[in-house]
Amino acid sequence: MSIIRVHNLRKEFQRLVPKKGPFAAIRNLWNTDYSVHTAVNDISFSINQGELVGYIGPNGAGKSTSIKMLTGILVPTSGEIEVAGRIPHKQRKEHAANIGVVFGQKTQLWWDIPAIESYRVLKTIYKIPDSTYRQNLDIFRELLDLHEFEQTPVRQLSLGQRMRADLAAALMHDPSILFLDEPTIGVDVLAKEKLRTFIREINREKKVTVLLTTHDMTDIEKLCSRMMIIDDGQILYDGSLESLKHNFGGERTLVIELEDELQPIGLNLPHARIVRQEGARIWVAFDREAVSASDLITELARTHRLRDLTVEEPEIESIVRHIYESGLNRKKEERHAALLDV
């Protein structure tokens, strides 16, 4: 059952077009010339209860704007949003009671008091029963090691500690949906792993639906079974990681280790090529649609003795980068075509 439903969602912002020339500063005081920037352009998707979905895109693609509309912070220009049966910007109080939100560069904790005091304030704001509060605090202490720093003023916490404290704050009232906007930005490797483990556990044990935006593809690979790619305000891809690799992955790589170190060897297969050789180890790139790994292995085993071999899938980061670049090239072509029409 869909817990988040978005249909033809659009968000436009007006930007002042500054005057230029003599007395521009004074003329701008009465300037009413605006341009319209479309941050989100007619996107549609749905997310089921308990899903953990990655929502990615380059800077300025429309990710944070989408999240702010889903959380009720921004009002859409047009389109429909329904989150757990509510319209976020129209039913803000009821909606806020059912969601948790973490923005990587902002905190909902009070800066000058210990994190535990912020939790007590949130307990009162959300009217959390004593038993639920104690139970959740015990869980978060175990999974996030809150006991190490919960008595420390928030301003004295490291970034990784603050992000863990913010995650606990966002989930203290048992929301059914968690929106995470770049929660691991600037966080060190160990803290990232703690955050990922916690998100995975909360999703699995409490069935919390999670929408995660991030620039770290490792977050997506380790957490999400589904990902959506947005660019220029439009959804470019919505599906599983496996489908993304299969449809956009292009070439796979066969890594072969020979029994003996030889001079560079050749291949008779038209859809494969040697891209690298270091001593007895050889990297062979091949088109997964045109030739299989077994055909390559058979061809090489016919003329050489093989010690070991592995098949490497393309990295998700390189696939996504290729999709971004394809979108960028498409936009350049569209602009060029528009200029020619003029």
C-alpha separations of 57 from 200, 300, 325, 331 in Å: 22, 40, 11, 15
- Whole-Å CA distances, 215 to 25, 57, 201: 38, 8, 21
Specify whether the CB–CB gap between 54 and 220 falls below 8 A: yes
The pLDDT of residue 138: 94
Q: What is the pLDDT along the chain (342 residues), one digit of tens a residue?
A: 789 999 999 999 988 788 787 877 777 777 778 888 899 999 999 999 999 999 988 888 899 899 999 999 999 999 999 999 999 999 999 999 999 999 877 888 999 999 999 999 999 999 999 999 999 999 999 999 999 999 999 999 988 899 999 999 999 999 999 999 888 887 888 888 889 999 999 999 999 999 999 888 888 888 998 999 998 899 988 998 888 877 776 678 888 888 876 555 555 667 788 888 887 888 888 877 777 888 878 877 877 788 888 887 776 777 777 777 765 455 445 544 443 454
pLDDT at 342: 42
pLDDT in tens, 58-72: 888 899 899 999 999
- Could you tell me the domains of the chain? 2-245 (3.40.50.300), 250-312 (3.30.70)
pLDDT for position 336: 43
pLDDT digits (tens, 9 = 90+) for 253-312: 888 888 876 555 555 667 788 888 887 888 888 877 777 888 878 877 877 788 888 887
Cα 236 to Cα 70, 320, 323: the distances in Å are 19, 10, 8
Determine contact, residues 96/70, Cβ cutoff 8 Å.
Answer: no
Buried b (16+ CB within 10 A) or exposed e, 187-198: beeebbebbbeb
pTM here is 0.78
Contact 119, 130 (CB under 8 A): no
pLDDT of residue 46: 96
